Structure 1
Amino acid sequence: MALETPQYEVTSKHDGFEVRCYSEMIIATTSVRSDYRGSTSSGFRRIANYIFGGNDKEMKIAMTAPVIADCPSEGLEAYNISFVMPREHSLTDLPKSNTENVSIQKETLGEIAVYAFGGWATESRSKSYQKKFATLLQQNNIETCGGFMVAQFNAPYVISMFRKNELMVRIKR
């Protein structure tokens, strides 16, 4: 069974990437002060604990895709990791986390440029694709605002050749 993903509309396609307009969504997010690998691993476990019942209602919440993290970049000391909550939920019916380090909030991504890649979204691969993506954006005269994000769509046991990832960045219009 396929996991629920955020709703969006493709507004334009370019050579190597597309621009999407995302609907408002609710996310569970945490910030982890560590390196990229440690942050994504710890952040995933924190939010997974929340959706598997580690909340004030002991409520289980369906897993969605992707898991979104800040993309590694020079000087970044903490990473935000987020799960998109299923559309059936609202801010009022979602439970509070049992820990202070997971927050539930509305997120409006707006217009996002998206670059897809396969394999593992390691720090070095994410940085390499980010450079390539930034060049494509510049060649298309698209200005970004904010940092790049890495969206990972697969469970950890999915082998490299079947993995789907995306780099995402907000754009100015």
Structure 2
Amino acid sequence: MLSQLTSAATQVAESVLGIVGIRVGTEEPPYDAEPLAEGLEIRRYRPRIAAETTVEAPEEQARSEGFRRVARYIFGGNTGSQKIAMTAPVSQSSARGTKIEMTAPVSRTGDDENGWVIRFFMPSKWTMSTLPVPDDDRVRLVEVPAETVAVLRFTGDRGQAAVAARSAELLDALRDEGIEATGEPQAWFYDPPWTVPFRRRNEVVVTTSTTRE
């Protein structure tokens, strides 16, 4: 009983802190960063594992439904009913031009017709052999290879128009730096919907070559 009360109190405290964008104990995938300009940087990520689902719906509806599906998995909707710690960011990319079984779909912001891939990165302590199997067959575990990405960070609105505008800004900034984007932009979100907009951490991300033209 005491442990349940403690757990409930912890969840309430974390929810309150989440309102102002304070992420307590939330793990992020490790990376090496190279700043380029204000809010813009190159990151080099190591291989990691993600749980993801594809939702065929408009962008913001897909984000909500996809979040619920994968959240059910990490909150115990799996073999053994194991709970998996929440991490950041949550990734959203388009499923255009990919099949559901592929591990690294190419993304494009604004493609409602072909569906959206919503992805949670798994805590680093887990491996493909130790992670529990999702109860929902629409959720799958994938290995994400090491990659180099360009990242533009922003706060505030994270709706479809805002993400599209920031994606265009990211690609323009890379052209100005003489760096080639090798994929198409996707969106990463670090905070729950109830976080006040000016405290949200949002990012648009694209795979890239760091060799300047």
**Does the pair score TM above 0.5?**
yes
RMSD between aligned alpha carbons?
A: 1.4
Compute the displacement of 1:146 (Å): 2.0
Compute the displacement of 1:27 (Å): 0.2
Consecutive unaligned residues in structure 1, runs of 5 or more = none
User: For the Cα contact (< 8 Å) 2:155–2:198, is it kept in 1?
Assistant: yes
Tell me the equivalent position of 2:6: none
Deviation string 1:125-154 (CA, Å, 9 cap, x unpaired) is 000111111110111111112221111000
User: For the Cα contact (< 8 Å) 2:43–2:148, is it kept in 1?
Assistant: yes
Deviation string 1:17-63 (CA, Å, 9 cap, x unpaired) is 11010011110011111110011001000000000111111111000
Tell me the equivalent position of 1:69: 92
Mapped to 2, the partners of 1:145 and 1:42 lie a distance apart of 29
1:169 has 2:206 as partner:
yes
Runs of 4+ deviating beyond 6 Å: none
Specify the SS of the correspondent of 2:63.
helix
Tell me the equivalent position of 1:14: 36
TM-score, normalised via structure 2 length: 0.77
Bigger helix share? 2
Tell me the equivalent position of 2:102: none
Specify the SS of the correspondent of 2:69.
helix
Higher mean Cα deviation, 45-54 or 144-153?
Answer: 144-153
| Identity of matched residues, % | 29
Mapped to 2, the partners of 1:99 and 1:66 lie a distance apart of 22
Pick closer, same or farther for the CA change 1:91–1:74 going to 2, 3 Å: closer
User: For the Cα contact (< 8 Å) 1:35–1:77, is it kept in 2?
Assistant: no
- The size of the alignment, in residue pairs, is 172
Mapped to 1, the partners of 2:147 and 2:174 lie a distance apart of 17
Mapped to 2, the partners of 1:74 and 1:25 lie a distance apart of 26
1:53 has 2:90 as partner:
no
1:140 to 161, 165, 177: 177
Consecutive unaligned residues in structure 2, runs of 5 or more = 1-23, 94-107
1:115-154 matches, within 5 Å, as 115-154=152-191
Compute the displacement of 1:95 (Å): 0.7
In structure 2, give the amino acid aligned to 1:88. Answer: K
Mapped to 1, the partners of 2:64 and 2:25 lie a distance apart of 23
Tell me the equivalent position of 2:50: 27
User: For the Cα contact (< 8 Å) 2:57–2:113, is it kept in 1?
Assistant: no
Deviation string 1:80-111 (CA, Å, 9 cap, x unpaired) is 11000001111111011111110111102510
TM-score, normalised via structure 1 length: 0.94
Deviation string 1:59-85 (CA, Å, 9 cap, x unpaired) is 110000110111523575211110000
User: For the Cα contact (< 8 Å) 2:45–2:147, is it kept in 1?
Assistant: yes
